[in-house]
Amino acid sequence: MAEARVHIFLVKRWLLLLAIALLSVAWQEPTTGALPDTLRKYRAADQLTEWIYTQLQWPAATPLEKAAILKQATTHIWRLPKTAEEVQAWQDLLINQGYTLLLSGDIVSSTDAYQQAFEWARQHLSTTDESLVLEYILKPLGNNYTRLGDYEQALFIHQKALALANSLQDQSALAGTYSNLTNTAGNMGQLEQARLYCQEGLKVADKKSALYGLLLSEQADVCEKLSQHDIAKSSIRESIRILRQQPAGDQEAAHWLFMAYQQAGDIYLSTPITAKQYYQEALHYMRRKQVVRKREQAKLYQRLGQLYVALEEPQHALSWLDSCARILLPGKDFRQLKEEDMYGEYTLLDMLFARAAAYNQLQQPDAALQAYRLCFATEHKLRSQFISASAKEMAVSDSRSRYEMAIETAYNCWLKTRQTSYQQVILQFMENSKSQLLWEEMLQQAQYHTGDSTLKRIRLLEQAQIYYRKEALQNGGGDSLLKVRQQRVAWDLATLRKKMPVMANDTLSVGHLTKLLPDKHVIRSYFAGTTGLYSIELDKQGIRFTNRLAITTQWHDSLLYFRQHYFENGAQAMINTPKAYYDAAYRIYAQLFRQQPLQTGNTYMLMPDGVLSTIPLEALVTDSVYPAAIGKWPFLVKQATIAYAYSLRTWQAQLSGDTNKKGFSGFFIARQQHGLAALQGVEAEKELMAPVISNGRWFPDAQATVASFRQALTESAIVHISTHAFLKQDSMQAPHIAFYDAPFYLFELNALPRHPAMVVLSACGTADGRLVTGEGVQSLAHAFMAIGTPAVVAALWNVNDATTPQLMQTFYKTLSTTANAAAALQQAKLSWLKDPAVTDMHKLPYYWAALGYQGNTQALQAGVLPARGNYWYWLLLLLGIPVFILLKKISNNRHI
């Protein structure tokens, strides 16, 4: 026991000395030539501990050189550590590698190194000191995830640190962890929670300490975001006062003061002169104290550049932005930078965006467009490092304003020059701004069939994650052990996914896309910004229409009102005031289509954006003159066939892929279990569909189990579902489809080895869901497309019990004779509008326009759904031939 205590003491001493040495390091010129000889000597003697610590203590001129030495050590090790000293030495190596990489500006590699250190510590608990793990692994790892914007992972790490700090009863560590939690929650937009974390930290921190000053600066940041400007200003001033009083040798306090000056500049940006004074204070302090953190210096230069952009002094701005670029991209000539030179760093992203703005002020739009391209390449690489879906969604949403500026620049260039190259730039920016996460998910699903061992392991962990999530939903989420298991699986998944290659943000080829278009198909894509709605149309010959519609916040609000008032809230508003609906529908049509009307006979792949994704465009009217008879209204559905897609890339992905080739499976649950209301139109829907589908498998009520549904998804070309679906604002925590025996959760779709060519969701609101800026509606249809389903028919609102059975009957009947499945759905709607048996009121679009077609219009191959009537025709023909021959013989005999 005494020897063990001595060992632990020595381990602590080693690690603390190394960490302190790194925190106060003054980089030295290395002694060249001696290191390899020394390392060979230790390797020959199999002295692994000495071999590791020699490289840790070896001097280097810069953090980058030191990081290179330590990186070599991790790749040149000749065996795994065995003894306790070797295990600890290896952990020290990983920790120091993470730190030197952070100092050198490579935050992604730094995060990977700290993550490896964390995993190593978890695997060797007997030789790991918790206080050192807290200070030198969890703290920097969580902060790195925060810097990268992956806030859920950061929160996971900081909460582990909080539990550890509580168990150690370390007040300073508690205050520091609350500081980290404040920063993370604030970045996640959870401002009230961030304020509470900060208050807890201020309670336990020493009021004269540098940490107290840091917490005050974080309080200032939260209050500024909460529009509590006076509190923010007083907090940042008090923070600066306290941090100024810290001892001269406290480098951490010096760093926090340096950052507090910059934060004060941000808070006072509405008064540029005061902001400039604070930024200048930070600049003077940096030069006087020789702050060595290059990343923070670069951030200050970027802020000064952004300030001068706001002051419309672009030359001054570029001077500061050049200083920032020299740190972030050493040795690079900005005029020759390529997208491959970019890496995941927020300051680099902000610098490039500010640079584009400066070039625009200088009337140099081509230079601005190149800066935007580099900005978006940086953004793509940053997002690829995120693990949680919410972090990725936030990154996509945050990028929208940047894309709008870039698209506006390219559009203005096109207006001036009419060069088609600028139209292609507009299309590229529009495409890169839309549904990137869905596209990446579709590509990832396609990769799962390659047999890669890492992918197999990811698939196994995803299945475990599905199991744990279902268990948590069933027990109400109260099982703490289950939560730990979920977190562990999520962590392992994150680690493995980081090993997968980053998907390239490829340049969109208009020529290649147009070759993929079937005959008489046209694409129209939209980008809905805050001030402009951009649209581009292309056919087999290329881009043939480009337009910008000036819009305001009121335009967005009017579309939301149109949808909610006339569709979400039921049919009554449309029934009571049909002309008001007609006029509103025509106004929207005129904005979207009047300059370039849809041509009769064409199929249009519409790719709406933002709130447009929630509008049933087929229900718009094409003429301002109001006919009294609703059946005579000039609905857009009468003008052309319409299908929808999230983006060009997702549509392209839906054109390929291995799907089930034949078969139909239908699930019809009229009488529900678990207290759910009965569905009146489901039985009628099945009865009307059955005569027109010859090769179907039918699963009514009790036969419609989760197991049979899962089997159908892997075997049938068409899967039809008519039951309750729960997507948002429901009692259950997770979106799901209600089958007779149990719910099927959307996250279970990820575990499927194969998928249908088409899924028809005639349940209520299956195309509705949470609208994510830049990603579109996160609906049940979206989930099926994410796993690679080429085509989905789904409903934007509650389908009508009387209408849906007849629409589905006509749809499937037409589907057996046409290759264009979207045209089959259009025909079903047109038949409803033409049917004299349908009352005029029921021809209002509320009753027939809910179902929309999304994806590949040619998804079904010939023979997937042969019509039942054809069999009887051929049978009668075959039976008629011998009868005809017999009658002919009788006739001939009579003549004889």
CATH number for the domain harbouring residue 663: 3.40.50.1460
**pLDDT at residue 111 in the model:** 84
**pLDDT at residue 749 in the model:** 82
CA distances from 298 to 326, 340, 528 (A): 9, 21, 33
CA pseudo-torsion sign 487, 488, 494, 500? negative
**pLDDT at residue 499 in the model:** 60
880: in domain: no
387: in domain: no
**pLDDT at residue 17 in the model:** 43
For the question of whether the overall pTM of this predicted structure is more than 0.85, the answer is: no
Low-confidence ranges of the chain (pLDDT < 70): 1-34, 149, 290-292, 387-388, 447-508, 672-680, 724-734, 751, 764-767, 861-896
What order do you get walking across the sheet with 736-738 strand by strand? 725-726, 736-738, 743-745
**pLDDT at residue 504 in the model:** 52
- Write down which residue in 127, 154, 184 finishes a domain: 127
736: in domain: yes
- Write down which residue in 497, 520, 537 finishes a domain: 497
Q: What angle do CA 758, 762, 763 make, to 5 degrees?
A: 125
- Write down which residue in 82, 100, 127 finishes a domain: 127
**DSSP for residue 723:** S
Q: Amino acid identity of 218? A: E
275: in domain: no
838: in domain: yes
Rounded CA gap, 859 and 789, in Å? 9
Q: Amino acid identity of 178? A: Y
Element (H, E) at 744: strand 743-745
Q: Amino acid identity of 202? A: L
**pLDDT at residue 11 in the model:** 42
**pLDDT at residue 765 in the model:** 64
Q: What is 114-138 written as a DSSP string?
A: HHHHHHHHHHTGGG--HHHHIIIII
Rounded CA gap, 253 and 241, in Å? 12
* Chain length of the chain: 896
Output the 3-class SS for 693-754: CCCEEEEEHHHCCHHHHHHHHHHCCEEEEECCEECCCCCCCCCEEECCCCEEEHHHHHHCCC
579: in domain: no
8: in domain: yes
Question: What's the number of domains the chain is made of?
Answer: 3
How many angstroms from the chain centroid is the CA of residue 184? 19
- Residues forming beta bridges with residue 664, ordered by sequence position: 696, 718
The single residue listed with the structure tokens 């199991």 is 467
Alpha-carbon dihedral angle through residues 638, 644, 649, 654, given to the nearest 10 degrees: -100
DSSP 3-state of 514: helix
Burial 555-583 (b: 16+ CB within 10 A, else e): bbebbeebbebbbeeebebbeeebeebbe
30: in domain: yes
**DSSP for residue 598:** P
- The residue segments making up the domain with residue 490 are 444-497
Rounded CA gap, 685 and 683, in Å? 5
**DSSP for residue 602:** -
What order do you get walking across the sheet with 791-795 strand by strand? 542-550, 532-539, 521-528, 603-607, 641-644, 851-855, 791-795, 758-761, 718-722, 664-668, 696-700
Q: Residues with Cβ < 8 Å from 588, sequence gap 6 or more? A: 559, 562, 615, 620
**pLDDT at residue 9 in the model:** 37
Q: At what angle do helices 210-225 and 191-204 cross, to 10 degrees?
A: 160
- Residues forming beta bridges with residue 603, ordered by sequence position: 521, 641
